């Protein structure tokens, strides 16, 4: 199986370390050969830095990729933003000799060279492609009795010309991985809609960004689910911290728990909510935490 290095990005290690822990536990349990990627930086964030200056975006992204090239490992991302940024940069540099050469002129100053020898993976498409839902289902020791609102997040599947994971309007691969844990992926309106965080909107226009996430939260509440599952820490933050902000700004309270897929899978593989850092979210929902405890009490 492909050898990987784990690219952490910014939000997971620096705001939601439970997702980092959950990822480590799942990778180990699944016997995936994945090393650290010491010295990696911001991917850099596609919506903002790519907007500002393309050479800067490519220089920082290529440095992160080179660190993994030096180890002869593909890059494993656990964030849609990092996935989009690194794979777009990797594709552009592989396809365009001029860009590669101008980027390498910057990298030369730190004694590095981009070669274009590795691929960028996202943990969801990696698990789907290399394991598949059936194999995941066989490894599950604690089938989850949960109703889940799945949020793919835009950059996992779009732009489709670059991602090539099939339908962007009605994809199913991530739902299949969720259902492999025993959980039910519940349909809801505007399931594929954006959480509103990306493109620098959350950082510069918070209230507008919250109106977008509030729209999704209201539809998800009506679907009567136990939690929201995502594969991107920026969506995760927007849904989690965003609920506190929506409460403060609009007076609306949802209290819907948010899990990264590695945390959902971790539960199904037998790890406790605390080991997976699920209790470290801003949203504290005792009823949900009690429900997660049930299998361990039996």
Partner 1 sequence: MSKPDVLKILQDAGLDVLTCIQCGTCSGSCPSGRYTSLNTRRIVRKAHKGGDILHDDKLWMCATCYNCQERCPRGIKIVDAILVIRTIAVHEGIMLPEHRDVSRLVLEYGHAVPINNATMEMREGLGLGSFPETVHKYPDALEDVKTLLRSCEFDKLVQE
Which residues are near partner 1 by CB under 8 A? Answer: 8, 10-11, 13-15, 17-18, 20-21, 36-42, 44-56, 59-60, 63, 106-107, 109-110, 112, 154-155, 158-160, 168-169, 193-194, 196-201, 203-205, 208-209, 211-212, 215, 275, 277, 280
* Closer Cβ to partner 1, 8 or 124, answer by number: 8
Q: Copy the structure tokens of residue 42.
A: 């911001």
Q: Report, in Å, the least distance between residue 122 CB and partner 1.
A: 16
Collapsed DSSP state (helix, strand, coil) of residue 200: coil
* Closer Cβ to partner 1, 133 or 153, answer by number: 153
Q: What are phi and psi of 273, to 5 degrees?
A: -55, -35
Q: Report, in Å, the least distance between residue 143 CB and partner 1.
A: 25
Q: Report, in Å, the least distance between residue 184 CB and partner 1.
A: 26
Q: Report, in Å, the least distance between residue 210 CB and partner 1.
A: 9
Q: Report, in Å, the least distance between residue 274 CB and partner 1.
A: 9
**What CA–CA distance (Å, rounded) separates 82 from 49?**
12
Task: Classify the phi-psi angles of 182: left when phi > 0, otherwise alpha if psi is within -120 to 50, otherwise beta.
Answer: left
Q: What angle do CA 258, 270, 137 make, to 5 degrees?
A: 85
* Closer Cβ to partner 1, 14 or 145, answer by number: 14
| Structural contact between residues 181 and 144, judged by C-beta atoms closer than 8 angstroms | yes
The bridge status of strand 74-77 relative to strand 147-150 is: unpaired
* Closer Cβ to partner 1, 16 or 131, answer by number: 16
* Closer Cβ to partner 1, 47 or 133, answer by number: 47
Chain centroid to Cα 192, Å, comes to 15
């Amino acid at each position: 199986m492909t050898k990987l290095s784990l690219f952490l990005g910014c939000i997971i290690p620096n705001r939601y370390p439970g997702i980092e822990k959950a990822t480590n536990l799942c990778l180990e349990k699944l016997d995936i050969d994945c090393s650290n990627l010491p010295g990696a930086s911001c991917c850099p964030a596609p919506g903002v830095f790519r907007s500002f200056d393309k050479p800067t975006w490519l220089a920082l992204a290529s440095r992160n990729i080179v660190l993994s090239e030096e180890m002869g490992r593909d890059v494993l991302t656990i964030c849609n933003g990092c996935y989009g940024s690194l794979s777009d940069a990797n594709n552009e540099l592989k396809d365009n000799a001029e860009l590669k050469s101008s980027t390498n002129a910057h990298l030369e100053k730190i004694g590095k060279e981009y070669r274009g020898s590795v691929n960028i993976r996202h943990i969801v498409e990696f698990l789907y492609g290399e394991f598949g839902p059936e194999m995941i289902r066989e490894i599950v020791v604690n089938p989850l009795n949960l109703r889940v609102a799945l949020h793919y997040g835009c950059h996992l599947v779009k732009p489709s010309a670059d991602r090539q994971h099939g339908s962007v309007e009605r994809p199913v691969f991530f739902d299949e991985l969720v259902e492999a844990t025993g959980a039910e992926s519940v349909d809801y309106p505007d399931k594929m809609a954006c959480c509103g965080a990306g493109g620098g909107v959350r950082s510069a226009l918070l209230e507008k960004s919250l109106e977008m996430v509030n729209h999704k939260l209201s539809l998800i509440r009506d679907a009567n689910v136990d939690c929201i599952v995502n594969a991107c820490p920026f969506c995760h933050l927007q849904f989690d911290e965003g609920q506190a902000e929506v409460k403060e700004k609009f007076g609306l309270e949802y209290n819907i728990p948010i899990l990264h897929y590695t945390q959902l899978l971790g539960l199904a593989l037998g790890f406790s909510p605390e080991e997976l850092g699920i209790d470290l979210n801003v949203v504290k929902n005792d009823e949900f935490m009690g429900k997660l405890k049930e299998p361990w009490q039996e």
